[in-house]
Every structure is written in structure tokens, then in C-alpha cells.
Structure 1
Amino acid sequence: MKLRTLEETDIYQKTVLYRSAYDIGVKQIAGGDYVVKDDSRIRASLKTLEYLINNECKIVVLTYVKRPDGKIVESLRTSPHAKSLSALLGKPVRKMDDCIGDEVRKAISDLKAGEVVMLENVRFHPEEMIDDDKFAKELTYGCDLVVFDGFPQAHRAHASTTGILRHLPNCAGFYLESEVAALSRLTSAPQKPFTIIIGGEKISDKIDAINNLYDVADAILVGGGVANVFMKAKGIDVGSSFVEDVFVDLVRKEKKDWVEYASKILARGDKVRVPVDLVVGDDLDNPHRAEISVTVPAGWAALDIGPLTSDAFSKTIKQSKTVFWNGPMGVFEDDRFAAGSGSIARAVEQVSGLTVIAGGDTIEAAKKYCDIGKITHLSLAGGATLEFLAGKKLPALEMLRKE
């Protein structure tokens, strides 16, 4: 995929609307202030922002934060994000109380070269989610072009994604470029053997990626709730384990049976490998731990892959030249059920070829058990990464394509 790039774009002394990827949760600390939980996405934006500053741009930062449902939610303001960005850039970042309006217009008009202003959470306005064109145009006030680094939101057709791109010349930022480049290496002739590891609780946002990558993959190792669906599809009793089996889309008036979908993938061949043993618990609030063969007894739930599975999966991973990992193998937040994710992380760390770890929970698990600096690429997106790997068109990326 060829995109319009920052280095090819005339940005010198321009006023830039920087669409960031700062959809980051916050936490309250002593004294009542809020801080960002994880500054990884802000750090990932620094290369782009420093390039803009060095080119004497005036920078207007735009983002949304979580789901305030079109109204002001004090805990979802962008003030913590502005403070974090200011500290990392080593310069002031002026925080606005809205993303449109007279005060915002004046602040943009008053910007000097190299200065940065951050707008308020765009999702405080209901017009954002419906890609209201008038609202999108207002978001671009006073700006010459859009530099789009919001890869984690590129699968959304919202006012702050596709909307702003309709109204101004635009290009991709360095962070977005890095995501597309790394993920494209997985879909286009990856070096073999290529191993995919998929875990996490839900299969609904991952099964299309599994299906799309099936032909280029050599092995697909599944754990967590994803494995439960595939095991159920194979006729294995998963006891009281969480299984996302049927989804009813009330808008499209259709039913999706994930177990049936998994059965169709299994019928394609033997690339999908389910656990051969599991670590289970009985009371999910205060579980007793036990290691069992793959059949889960009634009243018990699979909470991690077992040691035999960990060893087998790790051996396959270490023999790979390309690895993609999304989703922990179990409830890794509880040390009793973290061994599987730990073994996967240590195995991925030892791969000498391309390694991509995607998603917040997976990256958190990897940081806990391996040297994250040895991983080729950390994909900071969730749904956008999986939709890209599923071969779906991401609306914002389509608008950034080089003609």
C-alpha cells in the first residue's frame, strides 16, 4: 500500500492538523489528578511531531478518548494527554477546553512556528461519530493540511478521521507509516516459516484475520477464549470456559455463529493448533488451580494453556522466521495463570526474523516476561490492526493512498 508521506509533502511553516492516536485511558492519582495509563502512543508520535516542529509548523493536535457518548465526561478530557506530550516534547502544549468554537479559532490564529495546541476530546460532540460534514469542516479551521497518524482509528469513518481528510490536503505521519509497513510484511510474502499466535478472550474481532492469513501462515497457535471456540468446533468439552459462540447483529439483522466459522477454518487443513492441555480454575472469583488434559470438567474453566502446550507452541515459534502475536494465552494478570503467556513471550523474543506483537494486553504481557526491545514491531492498534490483516479496507487509509 503506497501512501502520501510526510517527507514528500510541502509542510514548511504550514499550520498542521495533526490527527493523533491518543485514544489512551487515564487513571486518577493521589490528589485527584488524572494521568495517562500508558504513554506508548504518545511516544510513538514524537518522531512526526519533532519533524513538524523542525519544519517550523504550527501544530493543532486532535484526538478522541474512549466513549463519552457525545457529552462531556470530566475523566475523559485530554488534559492528561497534553501534560504527557508536553513533558515528552520538552515544550509547552496549550490545552483547549473544546475542539471547535471561537476560543479554538483564536488559539489557532495566534499560533507561532513550532507551537503546539491540543484540542479537547472530539467525542464530546455527537457529530463526531456520525461523520457530520459541517462538524468535520469546522475541525479543520485555520489549518493548511492534515498529517494523519491515527492508525488505531483508521478503521473508523468519523468526522475526525475520514471527515477531516475530505476537507484538507493530507499525508500519513511516520507512526502510521511504520504500522502499515510492518503489517504489510505479514500479508505479502512473509519469510517462512510464518507462525501466528492468537489468544485473548473474544474471537469475533480476530477470526477474519485468521481466515485471511491462513494461506500464508505455516502454523496458527490458539489460546485463551479463541482456543475455546476452536476446541468446541472440534467437539471438545470446554466446561464452563468462556466461549463467544453466537453474535446477533441487530442493525444488519444477521446472526454470526463463531463456532461454525471456526469449523470451516479447521476444515481447510491442519494449520490451526489448539491446546493439548490446560490450566483450569473452578470458582472464577477465587479459583483453585489445576492442570488437566484438554477436556474441561463441568464447573471448571480454562484460564491458561498447559505446560505441554506451552512447550510445543514455544518450539514452533523458535523455529519461525516470521511471527505475529495478538492476545494472551490466559488470565496473565493472575500469576497462577500467566505461565502460558510468559512462555510465548520468551519464545517470540528468541526469533531472529520479523516479530510483530499487537494490542495493549499482549504488549503488556510481553513486557512482563521478555525484553520488548528485541521485538521488531509493536502494533499499538487493536481493531485497525486486525481489520488490516483481515484484508479489509480501512476508510482513512483509503483516503491516504497515493494516486
Structure 2
Amino acid sequence: MAWKTLDDLDIAGKIVLTRVDINVPMQDGRVTDATRIDRIVPTVRDILARGGKPVLLAHYGRPKGEVVPELSLEPLTGALETAFGVPVRFATDCIGLAAKTAVAALPDGEVLLLENTRFHAGEEANAPMFAASLAALGEIYCNDAFSAAHRAHGSTEGIAKLLPSCAGRLMEMELSALDKALGQPKRPVVAVVGGAKVSTKLELLGNLVRKVDHLVIGGGMANTFLAAQGIDVGKSLAEHDMTETAREIIAKAEEVACAIHLPTDVVVAREFRAGADSETVPADACPADAMILDAGPETVARIAEIFAECRTLIWNGPLGAFEIPPFDMATNAAARVAADQTSAGNLISVAGGGDTVAALNKAGVADDFTYISTAGGAFLEWMEGKTLPGVAALMV
């Protein structure tokens, strides 16, 4: 992959329209998790240090092309000022006279935040006139929002065609990490894919069996694969109408020499609650009145062996019902092994997806992985092998 970065453009004295993701959780007008804001700090500070003027483009929520006051970005200015350490001004629109006036009045060393781009229908429609109105505000476009790169919107794709464009530091870091994981990985490569349903990750599984050497399947979708092999999974969450599809994926994996690993032992219980009575049984011995809620220690030991053999790990989804102990054991234990192998320099580990990030944070190992993506849908579509419009627009 080849894309320009801030290092490739002369930004001194120029207005740098910077697409960011600050779609952060709020409560009572206060940011409750500033992770996404913290991640754009290097880009904004770098633009300022190089004499550029950062003008931030961002969306918030789903206003569907209408002005929704409770989805205004204005309440975020305080959190942004704290993160950047400089004054952050606000414009009541992202195009038109209000935006032009605010941009013209922006002093050196300060940041301007424009109002929610999704207040205009032209954003999600990627309307040429809307993209042109955005582009008219600046001289350089910098995309630092990988998490929005799977959307061909005016502020992610349309504008990039109209101005000299580059990736911001977060986007640069994300693309580099993903290229190392699937683009040009060190082999062998293992992917861990968990979650509830096979049906939501068909394209992902189909792409991965062609790209990786080992595919570890966990969570509820592992039950569907077990059922596809004729194993009785009792009352476990499983998509019995997807068993034929599961068999097709297994057959495809055999054709391309990708080893699929399913649980060989499982933790079962009669009820899904914290501290419920549970037992570990062979994967083919789930009682008819019980449900599989986690992988067992034998399975975790095998996963640890695979991690030790491999040089690259991609992780999306937990191995069990990690939210409730004791059914978080497999996810926690495997995550710690991956973290240890990464810290020892033996493994490049890249993980992403909402449940995945939550699970790794819960296991206390997120900081030990090579890279954790908070991109959600964009990370999943990248794993599926799809072209992301916001990334493609930056390619040179």
C-alpha cells in the first residue's frame, strides 16, 4: 500500500481540513470515554507544530441529513481543548458562510471544529456539491478517521479527490499495522474469529481461509461449526440453518491448506448467569439440557501452541461469553498468551472490533498487543478483503 502522509506535504501556513472520528460516548454533556479523542492528538499537534491550521471535520450520531441539536459537536470543544492543550473554536456549520467566516478568523496555534457533517444530506450521499463546499474551506485534506473509511461520504472520499490529500498519524499507524497483519504478514499467520453468529461473518471467514495458515473459531459460531460436524450442542446458541455453509467453509479451508481449529473441550452450564454452576466436558459431550458458554482449558492449551508457532495474529471476537465469569476464562487466558508472545517479540498481534477491544481490556492486555483498532465496521470490512473508499482515495 502507498499513501501520502503529513511528511509528504508542505502544510506551513495552510488550512488543513482534517477528518477525525470523535464520535465518543457522552453523558450529561460530558465525554465518558475520550479514547477516540486521545488518538487524534498526534495528528493535530503535528499539524500545529508544522505551522498548519487544523480545521476538524467530523460526524456525530445519525442525524440523517437534518440538524439535530442534541447531536451537535459543540459540547466536545472542552474535551478537545484539554486533549490538544490549545484553544478550540467552533463553527455552527461545516459549509457556507458560518464555516468560511470561522476559518478566516482562525489564528495560528489554535484549532477549529466545524459542526456535524451529517447535518447535511450531501455528506452520506457523497454529493459532489457538498464535497466541493468542504474543499473550498481549505488547502490540504488530511484523513485521520480510519473508522469512517469504509463509508464513501463527502468528508471521507469526495473531498480527497479535490485537494492534495494525506493520511493523518492515526490513519498512518492503522494502515501500517493492517498491512503487516494481512497485506505482507510474517508467516505463519493465525486468525481468531469469535462472536455469536456465522451469518454475520461469512465474508470474513471466506476471505481469511485464503489468507491465513490457522483459523481459530470461538464463541457461538463455534457451536454452529460443531453442529455441522454432527455434534449435539444441546441448548447452545447455534445457527442450525448455517451448518451447510459451515461445512463449505471447512471444505474451502482444506483446499487452501488453512487449518481450522474448533474447541475440543467446552465449558457448559444450565443457565447463563454470573457464577452459574458449570462443568468442563469434551466438545462432543454437551448434555442435552445444557449450553456451551466457553472453550475449555485443553482448547486454550492448543491455541497457546498455535500462537507459539505463528508470527502474526489477527483477532476479532471473543472465545466465549466473556462478559460473565466464569465464561471469560478462555478469552482471558488466550489473550494473555498472545500478549506475552507479543511482548517477547515473537508475535505481531492486531485486534479490532467492539467486543474484541472490550474483551482485551477486561483481560488487562490491550496495551500489550502490537495494535488495537477501535474502528469497528472499517476493521471488519478490511478483514473481509473489501476496498475501503476513504483509504482508496488516499492511494498514490
TM-score, normalising length: structure 1: 0.87
Structure with a larger share of its residues in helix? 2
Tell me which residue corresponds to 1:255: none
Q: Identify the residue that residue 336 of structure 2 maps to in structure 1.
A: 346
C-alpha separation in 1, matches of 2:391 and 2:267: 41
Correspondence for 1:275 = 263
Q: Deviations over 1:56-87 (max 9, x none)?
A: 21211111223333344455432454332221
Q: Does residue 1:162 correspond to 2:146, yes or no?
A: no
Q: Given residue 293 of structure 1, which amino acid in structure 2 is its aligned partner?
A: P
State the one-letter code of the partner of 1:21.
Answer: D
- Aligned CA-pair RMSD: 2.5
Rounded to whole Å, the distance in 1 between the matches of 2:177 and 2:11 is 25
Shift of 1:336: 2.6
Task: Measure, in 2, the Cα distance between the counterparts of 1:112 and 1:232.
Answer: 64
* Letter matched to residue 290 of structure 1: S
- Aligned-pair CA distance for 1:274: 1.2
Equivalent residue, structure 2, for 1:65: 60
In 2: Cα distance, 1:125 partner to 1:201 partner: 35
- In the TM superposition, what is the alpha-carbon distance from 1:43 to its structure 2 partner? 2.1
Once the two structures are TM-superposed, the CA of residue 116 in structure 1 deviates from its matched residue by 0.8
Residue type matched to 1:33 in 2?
G
Q: 2-side partners of 1:222 and 1:83: how far apart?
A: 43
CA–CA distance in structure 2, aligned partners of residues 149 and 361 of structure 1: 23
Q: Does 1:126 align with 2:121?
A: yes
User: What is the distance in 1 between the residues matched to 2:7 and 2:375?
Assistant: 23
Change (3 A) 1:284 1:147: same
Q: Which residue of the partner structure matches residue 389 of structure 2?
A: 395
Q: Over residues 77-128 of structure 1, what are the superposed CA-to-partner deviations in whole Å (9 max), with x where a residue is unaligned?
A: 3245433222111112123333234322211111122221112222233332
Deviates more, 1:212-221 or 1:4-13: 212-221
Structure 1 counterpart of 2:23, one-letter code: D
Classify the secondary structure of the residue corresponding to 1:64.
Answer: coil
Partner of 1:334: 324
Partner of 1:376: 370
Find the residue that maps to 1:337 and give its secondary structure: coil
Give CA deviations for 1:181-208 in whole Å, capped at 9, x if unaligned.
1111122442233221111234445432
Could you tell me how far apart the structure 1 residues matched to 2:131 and 2:8 are?
25
1:304 counterpart letter in structure 2? D
| Counterpart for residue 15 of structure 1 | 15
Q: Which runs of 5+ in 2 are unaligned?
A: none
| Structure 1 unpaired stretches of 5+ | 247-257
CA distance in 1, matches of 2:200, 2:42: 30
- 2:246 maps to 262
Q: Is the 8 Å Cα contact of residues 53 and 111 (structure 2) preserved in structure 1?
A: yes
Q: Single out whichever of 263-272 and 276-285 deviates more from structure 2.
A: 276-285
Corresponding residue to 1:303 among 289, 293, 304: 293
The 5 Å alignment of 1:3-402 reads 3-24=3-24, 26-28=25-27, 32-37=28-33, 39-204=34-199, 206-243=201-238, 259-267=243-251, 268-269=253-254, 271-284=259-272, 288-291=276-279, 292-295=281-284, 296-297=286-287, 300-351=290-341, 352-402=346-396
Q: Deviations over 1:118-144 (max 9, x none)?
A: 122222333322212222222333211
Query: Equivalents in 2 of 1:299, 1:159: separation in Å?
Result: 53
Cα 1:70–1:331 change in 2 (3 A) is farther
CA contact (8 A) 2:273 2:324 kept: no
CA contact (8 A) 2:218 2:295 kept: yes
Give SS of 2:98's match: helix
What amino acid is the match of 1:343? Answer: A
Equivalent residues of 1:318, 1:350 under 8 A apart: no
- CA deviation after TM superposition for structure 1 residue 338, in Å: 1.2
CA gap of 1:127–1:370, structure 2 versus 1, over 3 A, is same
2:278 and 2:215 map into 1 onto residues whose CA distance is 26
After TM superposition, give the deviation of residue 151 of structure 1 in Å. 0.9
Partner Cα separation in structure 2 for residue 66 and residue 285 of structure 1: 32
Which residue pairs with 1:252 in the alignment?
none
Partners in 2 of 1:386 and 1:81 — Cα distance?
28
- Could you tell me whether the CA contact under 8 Å between 1:331 and 1:337 is conserved in 2? yes
1:123 maps to a residue whose letter is R
> Which region of structure 1 is more displaced relative to structure 2, 73-82 or 305-314?
73-82
**Mean Cα deviation higher: 374-383 or 77-86:** 77-86
Give, in angstroms, the shift of residue 286 of structure 1: 7.4
- Going from structure 1 to structure 2, the CA distance change for 1:45 and 1:224 (only over 3 Å counts) comes to same
1:52 Cα deviation after fit: 0.4
Q: Distance in 1 between matches of 2:97 and 2:313?
A: 50
In percent, how many aligned pairs have the same letter? 36
1:311 match: secondary structure: helix
Whether the aligned pair in 1 keeps the contact of 2:296 and 2:330 (CA below 8 Å) is: yes
Q: In 2 relative to 1, CA 374–101 (structure 1 residues): closer, same or farther, beyond 3 Å? A: same
